[in-house]
Amino acid sequence: MADQTSQGAHTAEGDKAYWSANVRIILISLVIWALVSFGFGILLRPLLSGIAVGGTDLGFWFAQQGSIIVFLALIFFYAWRMNKLDKEFGVEEE
């Protein structure tokens, strides 16, 4: 808390910019999250039916495995990106 008072208004504004950058990254990630699971895995599966994967189609693969792999990638991307963002805005932990 001590460093907040010493830097004053500058920090409050920086915090705001940091937060909107964070929200933007979250929104992009969630669009991908929904696209691979509800999209490719369920609703858009008929569109992907032409792409064959091991005896079935790409939509089946996304529903059973692909979405899980993308989920993993998303979480690690977010952790990496946010830990970098923390440093850019100087809000990381001591």
Partner 1 sequence: MDQFTINLLFVGASFALYIGIAVWARAGSTSEFYAAGRGVHPVTNGMATAADWMSAASFISMAGLIAFTGYDNSTFLMGWTGGYVLLALLLAPYLRKFGKFTVSEFIGDRFYSPTARLVAVISLLVASLTYVIGQMTGVGVAFGRFLEVSNTAGLLIGACVVFAYAVFGGMKGVTYTQVAQYVVLIMAYTIPAVFISLQLTGNPIPGLGLFGTDVESGVPLLQKLDQIVAELGFNEYTAHHGDTFNMVLFTLSLMIGTAGLPHVIMRFFTVPRVADARWSAGWALVFIALLYLTAPAVGAMARLNITEQFWPNGTEGQAVSVETIETDPAYDWMATWQQTGLLGWEDKNGDGRIQYYNDASPEMQERAEAEGWAGNELTNFNRDILVLANPEIANLPSWVIGLVAAGGLAAALSTAAGLLLAISSAVSHDLMKGQLTPDISEKGELLSARIAMAVAIAVATYLGLNPPGFAAQTVALAFGLAAASIFPALMMGIFTKVNNKGAVAGMLSGLIVTLIYIFLHKGWFFIPDTNSFTDADPLLGTIKSTSFGAVGAMVNFAVAFTVSKMTTPIPAEIEELVESVRVPRGAGAAAADH
Q: Residues interacting with partner 1, by CB under 8 A?
A: 1, 3-4, 12, 15, 18-19, 22-23, 26, 29-30, 33, 37-38, 41-43, 45, 53-57, 60-61, 63-65, 67-69, 71-72, 74-76, 78-79, 82-83, 86, 90-94
Nearest approach in angstroms of CB 57 to partner 1 is 8
Single-letter residue type at 63 = A
Nearest distance, CB of residue 62 and partner 1, angstroms? 9
Smallest gap, in angstroms, from Cβ of residue 37 to partner 1? 5
Tokens 């008929």 found at: 46
Q: DSSP secondary structure string, 28-90?
A: HHHHHHHIIIIIIIIITGGGGTTSEETTEEHHHHIIIIIHHHHHHHHHHHHHHHHHHHHHHTT
